[in-house]
Amino acid sequence: MKSEMRHKLAQLTFEEKIRKVGELIRLRQKIKTAGSNVSEEAALLASLDKAAAELNAGKGVPIERVREDIREWAKSPKNPKK
Amino acid sequence: MSNEPPGIPLADVLRAANELLSAGLIEDYALGGALAAIYYVEPFTTYDADIIFVATDSTLSAGIPAIYSHLQSKGWRVEREHLLVNDFPVQFLAASGLTEEAVRNATPIEYEGVAAKVFRSEYIIAIAASVGRHKDLARIEQLLKHAKIEKTLLDDILRRYKLNLPKL
């Protein structure tokens, strides 16, 4: 902020300054709330990525793979795909 | 209806401090911390109000349990080290040494019709110099630039409390 502007703001009455501090707090809270939604979404995506990585690492079987296997088994039940 | 939190309920805070004074729970008080600095400089974000008080109770607890109990009976809530009025955190801090002198020499003000006292800029600078966090150094710089400072008083406080201003 320019020094001239800061000096002007410093000349406001205390009541006006406190009102402006209240506005700043509200603005920060809004930004924080928006930020926390973004981080929640990021956390969800990260957990999905982790789950997918775990599945690919053999800790589970992807649902698409299960469906594909079931289709295979349905076609030739004697030779299920391993 | 708006979900926005209300502004800073400073008048309620000062009114409550005056009640503590009338009830004899504190001997004197003044607004300190960031809000006191804002009295002299441009507004900036702060998340609490600091009320620095001179205790009437000379025990180690400085009468804080009685203060809390009085304010809780008036509907204030306690959350960790803060008391909350309309969800706004307020800290009641017992004064000693430099802060006690700051309370005793604080400037009388009127805020929304409520009589109160606020730390003089020279004491805010000296207290910030004694604490020395990054935000305190920024506060000193702001005050030196934008507040009216009585240099002889500031020098005297700094000398008596063996404090130095940081190189800005």
Partners of residue B40 in chain A, C-beta under 8 Å: 10
Task: Pick B45's closest partner by Cβ from A14, A19, A25.
Answer: A25
**Residue B110 in tokens:** 């009127």
- In chain B, what percentage of residues exceed pLDDT 70? 96
Contacts of B74 (CB under 8 A, 6+ apart): B16, B19
Tens digit of each residue's pLDDT (9 = 90 or more) over B49-97: 999 999 997 776 778 889 999 999 999 999 988 999 988 999 999 999 9
Q: Is the pLDDT of residue A46 over 70?
A: no
pLDDT band of residue B154 (cuts 50, 70, 90) is very high
The partner residues of A31 in beta bridges, in order of sequence, read none
How are beta strands B107-111 and B114-118 bridged, if at all? antiparallel
Nearest residue of chain B to residue A1 (CA atoms): B42
Contact B4 A26 (CB under 8 A): yes
Q: How far is CA B132 from each of CA B102, B139, B140, B162, B165, rounded to the nearest angstrom? A: 17, 10, 10, 14, 9
Tens digit of each residue's pLDDT (9 = 90 or more) over B8-50: 999 999 999 999 999 999 999 999 999 999 999 999 999 899 9
Question: In B38-135, where do the E strands start and end?
Answer: 49-55, 77-79, 82-85, 88-94, 107-111, 114-118
Element (H, E) at B27: strand B26-32
Q: Is the pLDDT of residue B166 over 80?
A: yes
pLDDT band of residue B100 (cuts 50, 70, 90) is very high
**Residue A59 in tokens:** 């800790």
Element (H, E) at B11: helix B10-22
Buried b (16+ CB within 10 A) or exposed e, A35-68: eeeeeeeeeeeeeeeeeeeeeeeeeeeeeeeeee
- ipTM value of the model? 0.88
- Does B152 lie at the interface with A, CB-CB under 8 angstroms? no
Tens digit of each residue's pLDDT (9 = 90 or more) over A56-69: 555 555 556 555 65
- Does A13 lie at the interface with B, CB-CB under 8 angstroms? no
- Does A22 lie at the interface with B, CB-CB under 8 angstroms? yes
| Distance from C-alpha of B8 to C-alpha of B6, rounded to nearest angstrom | 7
Question: Helix (H, G, I), strand (E, B), or coil: what is residue B133?
Answer: coil
